[in-house]
Amino acid sequence: AQSVTQLDSQVPVFEEAPVELRCNYSSSVSVYLFWYVQYPNQGLQLLLKYLSGSTLVKGINGFEAEFNKSQTSFHLRKPSVHISDTAEYFCAVSGSGGSYIPTFGRGTSLIVHP
């Protein structure tokens, strides 16, 4: 079965600082990887996705992520965060073992301080 581990439940950071949110997945086969953002009282919105091709994926709002097959990681980065980036971030994987049901991590709460 596929699984996702988000290593940090909460990441506090000051505005304009860089941030990295970590995600590791368990699978020995090709997978599809996603990062979603959830603002308070809203559903999930796609930030970026890796399906194939270039391992560096750029998404909305200045976020990017790098797919590392050897380390089974898909960490999310942003060089300079804004207050408005404060939200819950979820990493997800699908496609492992023929299952395309997205499996989500527990989420990382990004808290940006002024």
Q: Is 17 in the site for another protein (CB under 8 A)?
A: no
Q: b/e for 4-25, b at 16 or more Cβ within 10 A?
A: bebeeeebebeeeeebebbbbb
Stretch near another protein under the rule CB under 8 A, chosen from 18-26, 30-38, 65-73, 76-84: 30-38
Structure tokens at 73: 């990681």
Binding residue for another protein, selected from 42, 55, 71, 80, defined by CB under 8 A: 42
DSSP 7: S
Contact letters for another protein, residues 56-95 (x by CB under 8 A): ----------------------------------x---xx
Q: What contacts 79, CB < 8 A, 6 or more positions away?
A: 18, 62
Would you tell me which residues interact with another protein (CB under 8 A)? Answer: 6, 32, 34, 36, 41-46, 49, 51, 90, 94-95, 99-107
